[in-house]
Amino acid sequence: MMIYKVFRTAEWEQLRADGSTRGAPVDVADGFVHFLTAAQLGATLSRHFATEGNLVLLACDAGRLGDDLRWEPSRGGDLFPHLYRALRLDDIAWSRDILPGAHGHDTGPLE
């Protein structure tokens, strides 16, 4: 199963330069890297990134993240994937820019 992470362009560039990251400021503050399922992505973009551009969508295979990935209840009791270690560049299956669309952010097709 693919899970997703939204980064600002600068955060993505820093990950590419360093090879790993503890995540965005909210991730560092919470002590884990926040991920999303395809079903959770739209609401998260609307809620937390509505006015932001310059976003990048990262996709990771949940099965490859091992025991450091935990599914925990969050918004409305829905289970969200949280990574309790640094996200490494080699964890990323693919990335793409999130483009502004007619009805919000356009992530392109999800797998």
Give pLDDT tens digits for 20-60.
999 999 999 999 999 999 999 988 988 888 888 889 999 99
Q: CA nearest 88: which of 110, 104, 66, 111?
A: 66
What are the tokens at 43? Answer: 């609401």
Beta bridge partners of 2: 61
Q: CA nearest 49: which of 111, 4, 1?
A: 4
Residue type, 76: G
- Give the Cβ contact number of residue 75 at 10 Å: 10
Q: Which residue has the higher pLDDT, 87 or 77?
A: 87
So what's the pLDDT on residue 20? Answer: 98
So what's the pLDDT on residue 41? Answer: 93
So what's the pLDDT on residue 63? Answer: 97
pTM of this prediction? 0.91
Alpha-carbon distance values, 3 to 12, 51, 74, 80 (Å): 16, 23, 16, 10
Mean pLDDT of 3-24: 97
Q: How confident is the model at residue 11 (pLDDT cuts 50, 70, 90)?
A: very high
User: Where do we find the tokens 């991920």?
Assistant: 35
Domain covering 2-103 assigned CATH 3.20.170.20 in the classification: yes
Mean pLDDT of 75-91: 94
Domain ranges of the chain: 2-103
